[in-house]
Amino acid sequence: LKFRPRLSFVGRADPSGCVRGREGDMSPAIPKVAIPPERWTQAIYGTPETALAKSEVFKLGGMQFDTGYWSRGYLQCIGRGIAHKECVAGLPDDVRVTKQGPLSGNKELSAAISCMSETGSPEKCQKHFDELAKIAGYKEEEKKSSMEKAKDFCNKAGYKLVGVPVLWYAMKFIKIK
pLDDT digits (tens, 9 = 90+) for 51-70: 777 777 777 777 777 888 88
Beta-carbon neighbour count of residue 147 at 10 Å? 8
Name residue 11's beta-bridge partners: none
The rounded distance, in Å, linking the Cα atoms of 72 and 96 is 15
Distances (CA, A) of 16 to 20, 32, 64, 160, 165: 11, 13, 49, 58, 68
Note whether 138 and 52 are within 8 A (CB): yes
Report the pLDDT value the prediction gives residue 30, as an integer from 0 to 100. 64
Residue 46 φ then ψ, to 5°: -95, -175
The rounded distance, in Å, linking the Cα atoms of 139 and 22 is 64
The rounded distance, in Å, linking the Cα atoms of 11 and 50 is 45
The rounded distance, in Å, linking the Cα atoms of 105 and 113 is 12
| Beta strand segments in the chain, E | 12-13, 19-20, 26-27
Residue 20 φ then ψ, to 5°: -105, 130
Who contacts 13 (Cβ-Cβ below 8 Å, separation ≥6)? 19, 20
Report the pLDDT value the prediction gives residue 4, as an integer from 0 to 100. 54
Report the pLDDT value the prediction gives residue 11, as an integer from 0 to 100. 47
Residues found in the chain: 177
Residues of the chain falling short of pLDDT 70 = 1-31, 102
The rounded distance, in Å, linking the Cα atoms of 134 and 113 is 16
- Does this model's pTM top 0.75? My answer is no
CA angle in degrees (0–180, nearest 5) for 96-101-105: 95
Report the pLDDT value the prediction gives residue 87, as an integer from 0 to 100. 92
Quick one: how far is CA 148 from the chain centroid?
Answer: 35
Report the pLDDT value the prediction gives residue 85, as an integer from 0 to 100. 93
The rounded distance, in Å, linking the Cα atoms of 20 and 28 is 10
pLDDT digits (tens, 9 = 90+) for 6-36: 544 444 444 554 555 555 555 666 667 788 8
